[in-house]
Amino acid sequence: MTHDKPNILGLHHITAIAGDPEGNVLFYNRLLGLRLVKVTVNFDDPGSYHLYYGSGKGSPGSLLTFFPWPRAHAGSRSTGETSAIALSVPAGSLDFWKSRLNEKPVTFQEVPAVDGPRKLAFSDPDGMNLHLVEAAGADPTLRWDQGPVSRDFAIHGLHHVVLNIFASDVPASKNMLETNLGLNGNSHLAEIASAPSRKRGQMGPGVVHHIAWRGADDAAQAAWRTQLLEAGLHVTPVQDRQYFHSIYFREPGGVLYEIATDNPGFLTDESYTELGKHLKLPPWLEPHRKSIEAALPPLPKEEK
């Protein structure tokens, strides 16, 4: 059966594993200037936080999220994983970011601009590779400009991801992105690096867990699920993540993908001014709040 293909609107969020939750907040909120928009727990493992960073209201396309595992061994990146996350910054802002990273200090390297924009490459405290990419057309609504970084230099959301795919799987992975997901018009959103080995890495701090793409609403997500199942992929049932609804599947190279809805968003259980200030739990975990809070380490408060 043929269905009208809905649109993937871009990247929704990227979720990674962190180590120390306090260090994660200090790096992404205090240094990079992203807003901590939601403090909750991993719904599948409520003994660990799920921290969401992004724009002022946590708009899809601005979101980096983390499961902190403070006692876990560092992860290792290999095939079927993400080797780098690129974030958009305004054109002409890299000198500011060089100075800011130097002050902390964070080791970085400027990647020479040949056919593309200037970018800085560096790592977070857990060794996850990050790029800051000067993007002239970055969406200003995806920035948080009321934090420690002014609007002239603030990060404007996700730019792209770099996928590490075993060489023989690259054509199928490209086909998944361009044909199945229809991203040929937004091909900059995912870069594929050819990996020489099929060896899989170890999930842990410093490693991306999954990449979420934007499906506008529940109807679009349902259409995607039908099409992906018909293409022979194993796709999960819809998962209620409180702030969006999700389906998950693995692309041919082994990367875990999600399609997440834009709604209901992060204002469902906190006002705009209160975002990220309180531990929020879904209704089915609320009866266990006392024991959950006792198991979680304290977090530094967001700076304004």
**Strand pairing class (63-68; 129-134):** unpaired
Q: What is the mean pLDDT of residues 83-108?
A: 94
The answer to whether position 1 is within a domain reads no
Per-residue pLDDT at 53 exceeds 90: yes
Q: How confident is the model at residue 303 (pLDDT cuts 50, 70, 90)?
A: low
Domain assignment present for residue 56? The answer is: yes
Per-residue pLDDT at 233: 94
Q: Provide the number of structural domains found in the chain.
A: 1
| Average pLDDT value for the chain | 92
Q: Which two tokens stand for residue 48?
A: 């660990």
pLDDT of residue 302: 55
State residue 2's pLDDT score: 47
Contacts of 122 (CB under 8 A, 6+ apart): 101, 106, 107, 108, 109, 129, 130, 132
Residue 38 covered by a domain: yes
Domain assignment of residue 301, yes or no: no
pLDDT of residue 101: 96
Which of 266, 207, 261, 270 has the alpha carbon at shortest distance from 239? 261
Give tens-digit pLDDT for 129-187: 999 999 988 888 999 989 999 999 999 999 999 999 999 999 999 999 998 998 887 77
CA distance 74 to 185: 36
Q: Hey, what are 238's tokens?
A: 């819809």
Domain that holds residue 275: 8-295
Residue partners of 104: CB distance under 8 A and separation at least 6: 31
Rounded Cα distance, 176 and 97, in Å: 35
In which region does residue 42 sit, left (phi positive, over 0), alpha (psi from -120 to 50) or beta (all else)? Answer: beta
What's the token pair of residue 300?
């530094």
> Is the sign of the CA dihedral 248, 189, 93, 109 positive or negative?
positive
147 within a domain of the structure (yes/no): yes
Q: Is residue 42 included in any domain, yes or no?
A: yes
CA distance 239 to 241: 6
Predicted structure pTM score: 0.95
**Residue 304 belongs to some domain of the structure:** no
Dist CA 67 CA 50 (whole Å): 5
Residue 3 pLDDT: 52
In a domain, 3, yes or no: no
CATH number at residue 186: 3.10.180.10
Coil vs helix vs strand at 261 = strand
Other beta carbons within 10 Å of 84: 20
**Helix, coil or strand: residue 204:** coil
